[in-house]
Amino acid sequence: MKHQRTILGGVAMTFVFGVAVATSVPAASLATAGSFEAVQADAVAGSAQSFDSAAEAAGAAVSRDGYVIHTPTPTPTPKPVATSQGGYGGGQCQAGADAVGESTAFSWVYPGGYRQSDGFGPRAEGFHKGVDMVNDEGVPVHAIADGIVIAASGDGGTGGVYLSLAHKVGGVAVCSMYMHFLDGSLMAGVGDTVTAGQVIGLTGRTGNATTEHTHFELYGADGVRYDPMPFMLEHAG
């Protein structure tokens, strides 16, 4: 009987010692060499996932574990424009050019391309004072250079919805005119400044137009319209 109590006591002490070891030694120290290598492999694999803050800020798509998050590009908001604002004569052109800095960057009206129909010069209906650039309805129209809005109208008669900008190029007043915008799509009003390539409206066929296009003109402080294509080829490339 005494011998049995001695054995039971030894077993109990062994159990207590085992519990103490299990609760005081970190689990990682009990891992086998193989399991430690697996942990290292997981850590290396995990390090391949990174966050590119510059790409995120630029609105690029970010890949995350097999799926892609697309950051939407902000869409310009149309600006309410009264029936008639400002003027697009030579005097207004010079005054607007005096109010802005020198333009050093330039953009095509349609950077993505367009189809030209009527050019500058005589035609059956009379002298055409600009160039007709054909594109689909709703395609964005871009300012050709930094400038200021000197005229804008939501209902411009034969010109439909139009906008005119004053620029300073080589110290000289250069004004650009854009006609037939989509109704309600103007994104700037008189007195607003714009930058080269900024979206100022959407392609439409308001006013005297038989198809969707932008009638584009250039003129100076004398108010006389001239062929805009040589200017655009020289400055916008």
Give the Cα separation of 174 and 193 in Å (integer): 15
Q: What ranges make up the beta strands (E) of 125-160? A: 126-128, 131-134, 140-142, 147-153
- Are 154 and 162 spatial neighbours (Cβ–Cβ below 8 Å)? no
Question: Closest by alpha carbon to 79, among 161, 19, 173, 21?
Answer: 161
**189 within some domain:** yes
Taken in order 25, 29, 32, 38, the sign of the CA dihedral is positive
Q: Is residue 142 part of a domain?
A: yes
Residues 6+ positions from 137 with CB-CB distance below 8 Å: 182, 202, 203, 204, 205, 212
Q: What is the pLDDT of residue 101?
A: 97
> Is residue 20 included in any domain, yes or no?
no
Residue 159 lies in a domain: yes
Return the closest-CA partner of residue 71 out of 50, 86, 57. Answer: 57
CB 143 within 8 A of CB 201: no
> Is this model's pTM higher than 0.85 or not?
no
- Which residues contact residue 37 at a Cβ distance below 8 angstroms, ignoring those fewer than 6 apart? none
Q: Which domain holds residue 92?
A: 85-235
Domain membership flag for residue 158: yes
Residue 52 included in any domain: no
Cβ-proximal residues to 182 (8 Å cutoff; 6+ apart), any chain: 137, 138, 161, 201, 202, 203, 204, 206
Distance in angstroms (rounded) separating the CA atoms of residues 52 and 59: 11
CA dist., res. 228 & res. 219, Å (int) = 8
210-229: pLDDT as tens digits: 999 999 999 999 999 999 99
Cα 111–Cα 120–Cα 236 angle in degrees, nearest 5:
30
Say if 54 falls within a structural domain. Answer: no
Give the domain CATH number at 221.
Answer: 2.70.70.10
DSSP state of 210: S
Per-residue confidence band for 113, with pLDDT thresholds at 50, 70 and 90: very high
Confidence class for position 84, pLDDT limits 50, 70, 90: low
- Residue 208 counted as domain residue: yes
CB distance 199 to 77 below 8 Å: no
Average pLDDT for the chain: 77
- Per-residue pLDDT, 39: 32
User: Residue 17 has what DSSP assignment?
Assistant: H
What's the structural domain count of the chain?
Answer: 1
Q: Is pLDDT above 60 for 175? A: yes
Parallel, antiparallel, or unpaired for β 213-219 and 147-153?
A: unpaired
